[in-house]
Amino acid sequence: MMEEGEEEVLLKNCFPIPNPTLYWFTKLVILQADVFYNCLVVLFSPFLFLLSLISETSQSHYQESKESKLTAESAVHAAAGVPSKLFRGCGVLLKKVFLGFLGAVHVCKILMLLLVVAVILGVGLVRFWAEEPVFIGERLHFDYTKAHPVAAFSFHCDSWCQGYTHQINYKKNVGVPVGHTFYVSLVFLMPESDYNREIGLFQVTAEVISRNGNIMARSSHPCMLRFRSWPIRTMQTFLMGLPLLLGIRAETQKVTVPMLKHKEDFPRTEAIKVTLIPRAGTDFLPQLYEAEILLKSELPWAKELVHRWKWTFYVWTSMHIYVLLLAILLRCSRPLILPVMRKTPSSTDIKQESEVKASSEQTEEKSSRDERYASVTLRRWRENRSKRKAMLLHQDMAETVVSSASSTKLTREDTGATLEDDDEDDTEDSESVWCW
């Protein structure tokens, strides 16, 4: 037992256990390198095909010219028919180059189609997986028939849309996804009238209402026009008199009020209610040209990362889908992307085929002749062997007959002698009995 424990310790010291994290990292790096290598091979395969065609044609022409120089007769015929062979070789070369170009165009077309399909699928998958931040800007209409005018913005436009909201670009079931944090701000377009300047401060309240009618969040902020003294207003009116008269510029101020921050969760948000409240001790409400609510959501950190790197995800997802589609196409329908061109037989090929066929026929005739000769000799040898066997069997039978006859004669003599001995023994026994 001690020896086995020492051997295990020595094996562990000599052969350390590899780190699985490092092993998987190396496997991933090797996989990416293989994918990149395969993509390069697929992209450069048409050009390699063209180069192989050109080299093959040049080698064939070199062999033909070398064979023509072996004999004088072939040299004379070659000298007489050099232009025709040259034109024929150029025609064959141009034909092969044209076919190679058509093959390259066909392969490029298939690869471009696969690339378009991969991009569409990759972008669609990333857009389905990633989320976009929500940005909504809608106008509000306050009800000044009440002591505290109210306006509401509803995400689903049901009971909260009774005269409070007016959506310019209406979309059904617009809402903030769960987990997003949204910020609400109000924008008031107010005239620079003496009435608004005399009112001064007024209060704006915003409430987040759930589908059950409960208030989930509430915020209240004061608001007023930006102050401008009488000399500044007079100077501004004097300088901007012409644009004011032409209607290019108006005597208004745009006031932005950040209202509240809320994280969307269950129960879901149904509406945002906005209320104007006058300053304490007064009943005067501000004059408004327009009121607008702005809602902007913020993604969680993981989804925000995906949103910021979405173009990288588009590229890598499309590339992986492209490699996968290419592998499936090469595995299932390889002739579609790499068509095999049949070679038309030339005169030299036909002559070589006829010579090979004649030589094969001669070898077949020779082999058949040898087989017939071998069969005849084998038959004769079998006949001689059967005759020798018959003679040997006849001699063996004669010897067995003679030996059987002599053996039967000896057995008869032995049986007679034994019978006589038995009779003598019986008589002696009977005599002994009578004497007693």
| Torsion on CA atoms 170, 175, 176, 178, rounded to nearest 10 | -160
Q: How far apart are CA 16 and CA 3, in angstroms?
A: 20
**Most confident range, picked from 92-101, 150-159, 385-394:** 92-101
User: 170 and 118 in one domain?
Assistant: no
Angstrom CA distances, 183 to 135, 219, 261, stand at 10, 12, 5
Residue 434 placed within a domain: no
The answer to whether residue 167 scores a pLDDT higher than 50 is: no
Residue 17 placed within a domain: yes
Residue 126: burial class (beta carbons within 10 Å; 0-12, 13-18, 19+): buried
pLDDT at 183: 95
pLDDT at 9: 46
User: 279 and 385 in one domain?
Assistant: no
User: 143 and 289 in one domain?
Assistant: yes
Angle at 241 between CA 235 and CA 247, to 5 degrees: 135
Q: How far apart are CA 370 and CA 377, in angstroms?
A: 11
User: 222 and 293 in one domain?
Assistant: yes
Structure-token pair, residue 326? 């290419």
Residue 359 placed within a domain: yes
Residue 286 or 416, more confident: 286
pLDDT digits 0-9 by tens, 309-363: 999 999 999 999 999 998 888 888 777 666 655 555 555 556 667 777 777 777 7
Residue 33 placed within a domain: yes
Distance of CA 246 to the CA centre of its chain: 63
Q: Which domain does 377 fall in, by range?
A: 349-401
Angstrom CA distances, 308 to 285, 312, 320, 327, stand at 44, 9, 20, 31
pLDDT tier at 410, thresholds 50, 70, 90: very low
Residue 332 placed within a domain: no
Q: What is the count of structural domains for the chain?
A: 3
Structure-token pair, residue 36? 């990149």
Structure-token pair, residue 100? 């190679």
User: 146 and 111 in one domain?
Assistant: no
User: 177 and 102 in one domain?
Assistant: no
Give the range among 148-162, 277-291, 300-314 with minimum mean pLDDT.
148-162
The answer to whether residue 111 scores a pLDDT higher than 80 is: yes
User: 93 and 141 in one domain?
Assistant: no
Give the range among 168-172, 223-227, 229-233 with minimum mean pLDDT.
168-172
Neighbours of 262 (CB within 10 A): 21
Asked if residue 121 lies in contact with residue 318, where contact means CB atoms within 8 angstroms, the answer is yes
The answer to whether residue 98 scores a pLDDT higher than 80 is: yes
Q: How far apart are CA 424 and CA 366, in angstroms?
A: 87
User: 39 and 17 in one domain?
Assistant: yes
Instruction: Say which DSSP state 378 is in.
Output: H
Residue 364 placed within a domain: yes
User: 145 and 102 in one domain?
Assistant: no
**Most confident range, picked from 95-109, 160-174, 216-230:** 216-230
Say what the pTM is: 0.53
pLDDT at 432: 38
The answer to whether residue 75 scores a pLDDT higher than 60 is: no
Of 70, 99, 129, the residue that ends a domain is 129
